[in-house]
Structure 1
């Protein structure tokens, strides 16, 4: 086992550390054994498509915590680069949309179907009354299936490096599904994390994907309700409002 170095970053689920020339992702949950091995498998699957993603080298216990060793993505998150130089925001959004489209070009049937995951979350999502939950499940059943690679958490902090040389990180939520749903998930995340970028990003994705804006936003009430399962109290009021819009 190599020496664990400086902490590179931290999130709700895990922390990232230097590990020689590589990166060590250590999960906060002491029972995250299956999570570590599942993410390693997902990175192997995604890597088959030739996308710019980290390479997984191994999963196991490191100083008593479950973790995953992977290649280290060079540079800073695209969000930080754009914040440091607002002039590069248009190029950053263009790069993000291009990466998203490349991802959605990949046919992938080995991952969990996205609609199955969403149905499970709609059943257990807190704060929904029966009428809203029933309508959301009905709406989900009518929306198209798909077998394209979907990231599930695609936003500028999960893109490391400048446009043209970026690496896409954090793949544990990857599924097989329709691109419109994954694009809508990014739109939903931007609505809270970077509101001024949400609509400009959607405009760019629509322009290069050929998908209709309405077909993407048809997923919004469902994805908002599903996100209620992710313990994001600061977003709860908006998520409930979006979920209840299914009754309109």
Structure 2
């Protein structure tokens, strides 16, 4: 086994370290086992589909925490590239990558509708009436089978061009691409509202789906995000979730 090397990056749930020629993603909580194996399984699925993701080599326990060994991401994140190159060109490249995912059947991945349903059921503060309305509206939507990343934003994509790699596949699902696009819009909306607006315009233009079709997913997607403990977005998420009651 290799020694755990320098820290490459850190998020809310996990740290990523140099691990020989590879990268080691370690979940911060020592008791977190299932997500490590779920993400490893998702990476195995998308590797089989030929999508731009790290190859996964192992899942296991390292220095008291659970993690996965995978390819190291090349180059800077798209978030860093935005600062140097501007919003429009980088977000256009990001959309092309996402459309590449959305063109592929996600056989072997969990259902996006099931994931949203489970999270809406436990979402705090939305009230029983709104909860039931959102669940009813979600159940009425048709099932779709496309690869949906679930956490697709500029800091989860590294490199450029043919060498770009998409990271953090823990929440990958099989479902409606417009729900995945709406999730990307929502993830950028609070911290980078201008980026969210431009992203939405580009995705709508290149996908052939009007922005209002994408934004129709905002109430259930926002309600589901309330389970993630993002306190700085709480009021905005509650407002967006409530927009589905009319």
Q: TM-score, normalised by structure 2?
A: 0.97
* Whole-Å separation in 2 of the counterparts to 1:5 and 1:64: 15
**How far 1:164 moved relative to its partner?**
4.2
* Whole-Å separation in 1 of the counterparts to 2:78 and 2:145: 28
Contact map agreement 1:95 1:164 (CA 8 A) in 2: no
Q: Verify: 1:218 aligned to 2:216, yes or no.
A: yes
Query: 3-state DSSP class of the match of 1:2?
Result: coil
Which of residues 136, 152, 155 in structure 2 aligns to 1:157? 155
Contact map agreement 2:77 2:159 (CA 8 A) in 1: yes
What's the counterpart of residue 48 of structure 1?
48
Query: 3-state DSSP class of the match of 1:30?
Result: coil
* Whole-Å separation in 2 of the counterparts to 1:147 and 1:118: 15
Which of residues 109, 112, 119 in structure 2 aligns to 1:111? 109
Which of residues 89, 92, 99 in structure 2 aligns to 1:91? 89
* Whole-Å separation in 2 of the counterparts to 1:37 and 1:243: 31
Q: Mind listing any 5+ residue stretches in structure 1 that lack a counterpart? A: none
**How far 1:76 moved relative to its partner?**
1.1
Which of residues 129, 148, 151 in structure 1 aligns to 2:146? 148
Query: 3-state DSSP class of the match of 2:95?
Result: helix
* Whole-Å separation in 2 of the counterparts to 1:145 and 1:211: 17
What's the counterpart of residue 4 of structure 1?
4
What's the counterpart of residue 19 of structure 1?
19
Q: TM-score, normalised by structure 1?
A: 0.96
1:146-185 residue pairs with structure 2 within 5 A? 146-185=144-183
Misfit runs of 4+, over 2 Å: 162-165
**Cα root mean square deviation, aligned:** 1.1
Deviations 1:56-100 (A, max 9, x none): 0101111111111101011111111111333xx211011110001
Contact map agreement 2:123 2:224 (CA 8 A) in 1: yes
Query: 3-state DSSP class of the match of 1:4?
Result: coil
What's the counterpart of residue 100 of structure 2?
102
What's the counterpart of residue 235 of structure 1?
233
- Give the count of matched residue pairs: 246
Contact map agreement 1:75 1:161 (CA 8 A) in 2: yes
Contact map agreement 1:92 1:163 (CA 8 A) in 2: no
* Whole-Å separation in 2 of the counterparts to 1:70 and 1:188: 28
